[in-house]
Structure 1
Amino acid sequence: MKQLTSTEWIAHFLASDPPRSKSLVVTIFGDTVAPHGGTVWLGSLIELAAPFGVNDRLLRTSVFRLAQEGWLVANRDRRRSSYSILAQALPRFERANRRIYAPLEINWDGNWTLVMAAGAAVDAPVRAALRKELLWEGYAQFSPGVFGHPAADSAVLAELLARTGARQQVFACSAAALPEVGARALPELVAEGWDLSDVSAAYEQFIAQFSPLLALQGDAVLEPQQAFVIRTLLIHAYRRVQLHDPMLPVELLPEPWPGARAYELARTLYRSVQAASEQHVMAVMRREDALAPDADAAFYQRFGGLE
């Protein structure tokens, strides 16, 4: 089978699995704009999105909707507009970044975080919002109003409870098994709480889509724009899978777990394209703003460290 060049691979990917414009803008803000101060001129954003087939009209509609939804804020300077990550949305971007760029391996200390939101004390709108957010964070609902996770981040939980208005209406605690009392096998409990089949299949699909980039022929040096497109498609696809991963400890995952291979692939490819892609980002951003900042120090800590 003929090995695709980077140009052919990009064209095939965009034809077969084109990203939705609004979701792509979120990826560009999280992966590209955030490390450069969190603000970008609309003209630069239009230019960054153009190689993905997102035209001016679609781009403007997407940022308008994201501003309405509380992700972005628009800024006016005479006849020009820029968009920034809204301060209230920063924790969500930062939380997503920690999940995307940090190693997947989490070891279990035997404790569970439990959130109890049962009974009439929890208002119905709060209960609905809380359930949605907890499930998005990877918690399982073991019974009505009782959620649990074996590797929860307490700071993330505190922020989630405050954001949903549930802090005064629920009880959260850390709990450990009583070995001499409860005897149900953990694999059964995990299988009941989390259906990992879709996440596993999505990781395998990600690996199949992006593995060909490891062996590109005739592309000793990628053009900066091509590197940016590959980097963005990589993170867009990986984010789409990884943010549905409940992030269970390795001791509770089935073996072999494809998430570990997907992370290694994402890390290898990201490291290989990030330098050239940053050349494109800076060229585009500085056409609109000569003082656009370089990527911050946190950017170079992604995936265990970038050159």
Structure 2
Amino acid sequence: MKPRSLMFTLFGEYIQHYGNEVWIGSLIQMMSHFGISESSIRGAALRMVQQGFFEVRKIGNNSYYSLTPKGKRTMMDGFNRVYSQRNYKWDGQWRVLTYSVPEQKRELRNQIRKELSLMGFGLISHGTWASPNPIEPQVMEWVKDYHLEPYVILFTASSIVSHSNEQIIERGWDFPYIAKEYDRFIETYERKYEEFQHRAWNNELTDRECFIERTKLVHEYRSFFFIDPGFPNDLLPDDWSGTRARELFFNVHQLLAIPAICYFETLFEAAPDREVTFNRDKAINPFMEMI
């Protein structure tokens, strides 16, 4: 696990429900469970401040970190995709985005490609990206945040004349590869789920283990959003393994949820000058947030 990515996972799974601010000492304790050193954690937190994702305030010798609006949007993009309902039908609209960036801004061009992939766009031809998902507000907010108005054009189309929808999908996304990755996840977590059930029944599963395993589960499942565009149901292949993977994710998550939160609460320390309202129910079952 990379420190920055794990920090977003911890904020999305736990810290956002406990005031959205955490003492660096608590963060170090949490992340040490995943083999990350204190120096790496402090360095990553500093970079997150410099990049505008974190803000930090001092109380005495202690530092408390919280997400900036930019950081919260980044965290919530991943959080919403993990927990939101996906059984929606396609509205028949393609979102098509083109961009033209000068050669001297090559780094910006690479960043645009990365962000478009994360939002679920597929590259259908040189400089032309498409998505069937209704993400216009998210795209325009991204364009505004990064001052991309001179370089980017976004429009919608009800059909693409030169190619069928199936051909566009084949051009932009590798669904056989994505299905194989979901199958690997299913194979791993079906075995783990059976083991966790057995150990929980016999009171052999500790709160500490549940915290570690729930965090690993979410961290691994969240990685699918680097490759899975989250298509509407009617554009997905038949017997889509992503659906089975999601059901398994829910089952394992809920089996581990309560003891994981109990252990998190032993590690978490809020700032002494703020009265924090804990939302334990949402931390235990974030799926309810999205219904």
Deviations 1:16-41, CA, capped at 9 Å, x for gaps? xxx23343223212222122121111
Equivalent residues in 2 for 1:189-204, closer than 5 Å: 189-204=168-183
**CA–CA distance in structure 1, aligned partners of residues 99 and 39 of structure 2:** 44
CA contact (8 A) 2:182 2:242 kept: yes
3-state SS in 2 of match to 1:246: coil
Of residues 260, 278, 281 in structure 1, which corresponds to 2:243? 260
Residue pair 2:101, 2:151 contacting (<8 A) in 1 also: no
Cα separation, 2, equivalents of 1:51 and 1:170: 42
- Matched length: 284
Partner residue of 1:295 out of 259, 269, 279: 279
The runs of at least 4 aligned residues of structure 1 exceeding 6 Å deviation read: none
How far the C-alpha of 1:124 sits from its partner, in A, is 6.0
Question: Residue type matched to 2:186 in 1?
Answer: I
Offset, 1:168? 4.7
Which sections of structure 2, spanning at least 5 residues, go unmatched?
A: none
Q: Which moved more, 1:194-203 or 1:37-46?
A: 194-203
1:1-307 equivalences under 5 Å are 19-118=1-100, 127-177=109-159, 182=161, 184-216=163-195, 217-220=198-201, 221=203, 222-286=205-269, 292-295=276-279, 299=283, 302-304=286-288
**Aligned residue type for 2:191:** P
Kept in 2: contact 1:96–1:243 (CA 8 A): no
Deviation, structure 1 residue 271: 1.5
Pairwise CA distance, 1:267: 1.0
Is the partner of 2:70 in helix, strand or coil? helix
RMSD: 2.8
8 A contact 1:104–1:263 mirrored in 2 = no
1:183 positional shift: 6.8
Aligned partners of 1:231 and 1:30: how far apart in 2?
12
Could you tell me which runs of 5 or more consecutive residues in structure 1 were left unpaired when the two chains were aligned: 1-18
SS of residue matched to 2:230: coil
Asked if the contact 2:123–2:129 (Cα under 8 Å) also holds between the matched residues in 1, the reply is: yes
Cα distance in 2 for residues equivalent to 1:48 and 1:170: 40
TM-score (norm 1): 0.81
SS in structure 1 of the partner of residue 13 of structure 2: helix
Report the equivalent of 1:9: none
CA contact (8 A) 2:270 2:276 kept: no
Cα deviation, residue 280, structure 1? 1.4
Query: Does the 8 Å CA contact 1:99/1:243 hold for their aligned counterparts?
Result: no
Q: CA deviation at 1:204?
A: 1.8
Task: Give secondary structure in 2 for the equivalent of 1:219.
Answer: helix
In structure 2, C-alpha distance between the alignment counterparts of 1:246 and 1:51, rounded to whole Å: 31
Between stretches 270-279 and 59-68, larger displacement belongs to: 59-68
CA contact (8 A) 2:22 2:270 kept: no
Whole-angstrom distance in 2 between the partners of 1:45 and 1:175: 46
Aligned AA (1:224): D
DSSP 3-state at the match of 1:84: strand
Give TM-score scaled by structure 2 length: 0.85
Give the stretch that moved more between structures: 230-239 or 20-29. Answer: 20-29
Shift of 1:169: 4.1
- Residue type of the alignment partner of 1:227: C
1:80 to 1:235, Cα distance in 2 relative to 1, 3 A: same
Question: Secondary structure of the equivalent of 1:103?
Answer: coil
Counterpart residue identity of residue 36, structure 2: V
